[in-house]
Amino acid sequence: MKAHVTLIACLLIVSTWAQANQPVVVSTWKFGMQANEAAWEVLSKGGRALDAVETGVRVTEADPNNASVGIGGTPDEQGNVTLDACIMDETGDCGSVAFLQNILHPISVARKVMEETRHVMLVGKGAEEFAYEQGFEKTDLLTAKAEARWKKWRAENEEGKKQEINAENHDTIGMIALDKDGNLSGACTTSGAGFKIHGRVGDSPIIGAGMFVDNEVGGAVATGWGEAVIRISGSHLVVELMRQGHSPTEACRLAVERLISKNPDWKDIQVGFLALNKKGEYGAYCIQPGFQYAAYDPDNGNQLFDGDSRLAKKAN
Ligand code: ASP
């Protein structure tokens, strides 16, 4: 009898272990490596994917040397750093801020919008006032370096000049994580397109465009020219393609093809999608070569990959 009980207990332990998920976190660009490390601290201790993605992207937001996210981000054409961010959890709950100024961690304000209000999205002055009410401090986000970039741009009157496609003038951190309970969450945060028109909002804070998570299927994030991503509800499209059975890479590729079909200027822009499915499989696809992403899983550690790209594979 005792032996039976012990056997049943062992079987239960083994089957629970077999069902436990391997955590995985993926994020955009090379700076995703550092963000993944912070997210992994949360995931490896059994933490929630939502906490992992918030913790991860906060690293990038706080880096003054990153010219496309948070403090130190390239300002708009009037010299203001304006930030966009969104977050989404395993229940489909989500929060977002756009055109937010003077706040170091827009992702955490987005989380407060999700958790403390009955709304999804706050913008501009209203979002900033809400942040102060929630205890966030006013922070000057325009670093000397970013101001110098802006002054140079203004002096050269570069408004019409083409910017380098993969350069730091537009790169977002988007992150998707899967935790040990098999739950997915995502976060996305950016200072948006450099020297944009004052008031411009890109894809990054728009749920379904810059980021989307469906806990039954997977999650996706976008980076690059936000206007093109919004036109096809990019991240939502990637998740729906995964729902139809496509692998993360193939879903990202099909979304890039859709985007190409709707944007005649596609050869002049960069857009990359990155996706993680419920099984922990991940992949990316972009228009121009040069988009990198970071993935951290327990078997391989933290690795940097080149996303497959349309223009690297096919003749122009
Ligand atoms: N998608 C962002 C935007 O358009 C910027 C980027 O990822 O490069 O604001």
CA distance 226 to 269: 10
Nearest to 115 by CA among 201, 48, 208, 61: 48
Output the pLDDT for position 3: 52
Which residue shows structure tokens 């995502």?
186
Q: At what angle do helices 234-243 and 248-262 cross, to 10 degrees?
A: 130
In tens, the pLDDT along 237-284 reads 999 999 999 999 999 999 999 999 999 999 999 999 999 999 999 999
pTM attached to this predicted model: 0.91
Class (C level, CATH) for 22-315 = alpha beta
CB 73 less than 6 A from any atom of ligand 1: no
Does the pLDDT of residue 315 top 90, yes or no? no
For ligand 1, mutation pick of 172, 196, 232, 274 (most atoms within 8 Å of CB)? 172
Tokens matching residue 34: 């550092």
CB 204 less than 6 A from any atom of ligand 1: yes
Output the pLDDT for position 142: 97
Q: Give the rounded percent of residues in the chain with a pLDDT score beyond 70.
A: 88
- How many angstroms is it from 225 CA to the middle of ligand 1? 5
Mean local confidence (pLDDT), 273-300: 96
Average model confidence (pLDDT) for the chain?
Answer: 91
Output the pLDDT for position 157: 62
Mean local confidence (pLDDT), 43-67: 97
CA distance 168 to 55: 22
Does the pLDDT of residue 6 top 80, yes or no? no
Output the pLDDT for position 65: 93
Output the pLDDT for position 232: 98
Phi-psi region of 233 (alpha: psi -120 to 50; beta: other; left: phi over 0): left
Mean local confidence (pLDDT), 121-143: 98
Output the pLDDT for position 294: 98
Does the pLDDT of residue 158 top 60, yes or no? no
In tens, the pLDDT along 221-240 reads 999 999 999 999 999 999 99
Instruction: From the CA of 202, give the closest atom in ligand 1.
Output: 9
Query: pLDDT-derived band of residue 171, with 50, 70 and 90 as boundaries?
Result: confident
Mean local confidence (pLDDT), 105-109: 98
Backbone angles phi, psi at 217, to 5 degrees: -125, -60
Whether 75 and 204 have beta carbons less than 8 Å apart is answered as no
Mark whether 143 is an active-site residue: no
Mean local confidence (pLDDT), 131-146: 97
Output the pLDDT for position 312: 84
Burial pattern 147-173, b for ≥16 Cβ within 10 A else e, equals eebbeebeeeeeeeeeeebbebbbbbb
Does the pLDDT of residue 11 top 50, yes or no? no
Domain extent listing, the chain: 22-315
Does the pLDDT of residue 124 top 70, yes or no? yes
Mean local confidence (pLDDT), 95-115: 98
Output the pLDDT for position 242: 98
Query: pLDDT-derived band of residue 4, with 50, 70 and 90 as boundaries?
Result: low
- How many angstroms is it from 6 CA to the middle of ligand 1? 56
Task: Indicate which residue's Cα is closest to atom 4 of ligand 1.
Answer: 226
3-state DSSP of the chain? CHHHHHHHHHHHHHHHHHHCCCCEEEEECCCHHHHHHHHHHHHHCCCCHHHHHHHHHHHHHCCCCCCCCCCCCCCCCCCCCCEEEEEECCCCCEEEEEEECCCCCHHHHHHHHHHHCCCCEEEHHHHHHHHHHCCCCCCCCCCHHHHHHHHHHHHHCCCCCCCCCCCCCCCCEEEEEECCCCCEEEEEEECCCCCCCCCCCCCCCCECCCEEEECCCEEEEEEECHHHHHHCCHHHHHHHHHHCCCCHHHHHHHHHHHHHHHCCCHHHCCEEEEEEECCCCEEEEECCCCCEEEEEECCCEEEEEECEEHHHHCCC
CB 224 less than 6 A from any atom of ligand 1: yes
